[in-house]
Each structure stands twice: as C-alpha cells, then as structure tokens.
C-alpha cells in the first residue's frame, strides 16, 4: 500500500508504511543492526508524528510483567547494590564541566543538590542538572571500565590520549558552510578501533539548551553507497549522529563523542545547531564548524 493510499483523511497525514512498524517492533524485541537503524531513522524523519517508542513501551511493560511473575528472578546482591550506589553517586558528584560537553563556569554544587527546573515543571533539565548528568556519564564509563585509559578532561590529557591511540583520526575545526563560526577553534579526534572520540572546542557561541543544542555528525566512508567516492552532500548519504552537547560562556573543553552507530572510517565531522535533544536527520540550516582531513592529506 502506498503512502498516498494510506492517507489519513482527518489530518491529511500520510500513514506510515508497515515497514516502519516492523522496524519499531524489531527494535523493541531484538534491537536493530546499523542498516536497519539507518532505515528506521529515515522513516521516522518522514513520519515524525509517529511516537517512535510506542512499541518500546509495550516491550518494557512486558519485561516488567515477566520479571514480576518470575519467582526465579535473581535479587541484586547487597555488595553489588552498594558498589552500584557508590558508582552512580561518584558519577553524579563529579561535576567537572571539562568532561561534560559543556563549556563554561563550573558550579561546585552537584549531585543531589536541589536545582530549579529550567523549563518549568517536568520540563527541561537545568544547567546544573545537565552538567552533572554529562559528568555522570563520563565517570560511569571510567568506573565501569577501570582498565581503560582515563577520559581526557583538558587539552594536555587529550593530546596524551591521541598519542595512545595511533589509529585515531585528528583534524582541526574549521568554519562551517552555513552560519560559520569564525572564532571557534579546536580539533576533533576519533578512534574507529575503540569507537571513542573527543572534541576539543574553544570559543563556540553559547547556546540555550531550552531552545537549541549543538549536535555532532560523523560521515563514515564505510557507510557510503559508493565508499570509493564519498559524497557527503548526496541525498542518500546519512551521517552518524555523534551526540548533542551544549556550550555556555567562554572556555575550552573536551567533549566526548557519543556515536549512535559504529563508525568505521570517518572522513568528515560537522557540528550543527538543532532543537533540544537533537534530530535524526539534520536540515543543516546552521553548520558552524566542520572538520576534515587537510586537502594535501
């Protein structure tokens, strides 16, 4: 059945294809591989009024039901619970803005300290909450993987990290193509082997996360329809979402990259300005920074 044939007479929204619900169900039950995830992202972009977590909720509810009914469910050991509790609090308490993807003054008050919601009741998490949340993720990773290298938090540590990751690409930021930021500087580095990466950014214009956030995009040559001839501006080329982040005030910060899909061979990075939470596919109306290999590379 075509989209046109599935037209909803009430609001003129074309009903999404069955394929979209198939993928939503597959994701809820089994997860998706990279190709399927890309396919679903494209469908979600075209049918943005569909609640993409509608079947995730059903699966989650079912999971709760199964666990509740299963007498054999394993209880969390007390020592494990204590370690997790300590780890989560350590993550929350480590409110170092240098780690977080937020540039600006640090507020020493973190963790469970009360904050005023930035967007009203149940609304957008405030500045402090975001700071602590992002730090939490950083520290959680470190706690969970004690044998891995420490996440770099400043330029010197990032340089050391790059030295330890010879397979990582490393390119300087340059003004983007649309609304370029001529003042921002820094670099982006990503190691396809470990799927880790960081942005060093200085001087990017602050954003108000209630209205917009910065989002990183990574073009992966291995995802190109024609890998030998990458075409970042082609309609059928979709960069990988590298995560959203915020900037506040002046300063320099190391921001971890949160690639949503495996990136095999990055060849272009771009920062766009998007709505809070980011988007699945950027309209690229604002692209303040890009990073690519030097032309003589």
Partner 1 sequence: MVDTPEPILERVARQEPGAVDEMMARFGGLVWSLARRTCSDPTEAEDAVQEIFVEIWRTAHRFDSSIAGEATFVAMIARRRLIDRTRRKTRRPQSVALQESAPDPTPPDDRTEVREQAGVASVAFEKLRPEQQQVLRLAIHHGRSHEQIAATTGMPLGTVKTHARRGLIKLRQLLEADGFEMPQTVGTTGGRNP
- Map the footprint of partner 1 across residues 148-187, applying CB under 8 A: none
Which residue stretch of 19-27, 152-160, 163-171, 176-184 sits at the interface with partner 1 (rule: CB under 8 A)?
19-27
Closer to partner 1 by CB, 88 or 268: give it: 88
Closer to partner 1 by CB, 8 or 164: give it: 8
| Tally of CB atoms within 10 A around 108 | 6
By CB under 8 A, tell whether 15 contacts partner 1.
Answer: yes
By CB under 8 A, tell whether 33 contacts partner 1.
Answer: yes
CB-based contact 153:99 (threshold 8 Å): yes
Helix (H) or strand (E) segment spanning residue 278: none
Tell which positions 199-228 bind partner 1, by CB under 8 A: none
Q: What angle do CA 117, 121, 127 make, to 5 degrees?
A: 15
By CB under 8 A, tell whether 76 contacts partner 1.
Answer: yes
Q: Burial of 281 by CB count in 10 Å (0-12 exposed, 13-18 middle, 19+ buried)?
A: middle
By CB under 8 A, tell whether 53 contacts partner 1.
Answer: yes
Tell which positions 104-133 bind partner 1, by CB under 8 A: 111-115, 117, 122-125, 128-129, 132-133
Closer to partner 1 by CB, 53 or 183: give it: 53
Interface with partner 1 (CB under 8 A), residue from 4, 78, 233, 297: 78
CB-based contact 41:281 (threshold 8 Å): yes
CB-based contact 216:245 (threshold 8 Å): yes
Q: How far is the CB of 234 from partner 1 (least distance, A)?
A: 23
By CB under 8 A, tell whether 58 contacts partner 1.
Answer: yes
Q: How far is the CB of 84 from partner 1 (least distance, A)?
A: 5
């Amino acid at each position: 059945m075509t989209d046109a044939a599935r037209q909803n007479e009430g609001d003129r929204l074309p009903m999404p294809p069955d394929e979209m619900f198939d993928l939503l169900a597959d994701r809820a039950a089994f997860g998706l591989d990279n190709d399927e995830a890309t396919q679903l992202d494209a469908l979600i972009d075209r049918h943005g009024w569909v609640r993409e977590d509608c079947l995730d909720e059903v699966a989650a509810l079912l999971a709760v039901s199964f666990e509740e009914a299963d007498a054999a469910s394993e209880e969390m050991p007390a020592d494990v619970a204590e370690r997790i509790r300590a780890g989560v609090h350590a993550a929350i308490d480590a409110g170092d803005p240098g780690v977080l993807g937020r540039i600006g003054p640090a507020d020493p008050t973190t963790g469970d300290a009360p904050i005023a919601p930035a967007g009203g009741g149940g609304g957008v998490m405030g500045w402090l909450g975001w700071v602590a949340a992002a730090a939490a993720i950083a520290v959680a990773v470190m706690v969970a993987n004690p044998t891995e290298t420490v996440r770099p938090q400043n330029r010197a540590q990032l340089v050391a990290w790059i030295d330890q990751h010879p397979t990582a690409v490393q390119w300087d930021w340059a003004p983007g193509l649309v609304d370029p930021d001529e003042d921002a500087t820094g670099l982006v580095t990503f190691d396809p082997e470990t799927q880790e990466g960081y942005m060093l950014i200085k001087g990017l214009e602050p954003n108000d996360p209630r209205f917009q956030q910065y989002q990183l995009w990574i073009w992966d040559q291995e995802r190109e329809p024609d890998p030998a001839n990458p075409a970042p501006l082609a309609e059928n080329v979709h960069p990988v979402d590298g995560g959203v982040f915020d900037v506040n005030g002046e300063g320099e910060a190391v921001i971890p990259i949160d690639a949503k899909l495996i990136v095999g061979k990055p060849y272009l990075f771009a920062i766009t300005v998007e709505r809070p939470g980011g988007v699945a596919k950027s309209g690229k109306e604002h692209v303040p920074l890009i990073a690519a290999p030097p032309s003589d590379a």
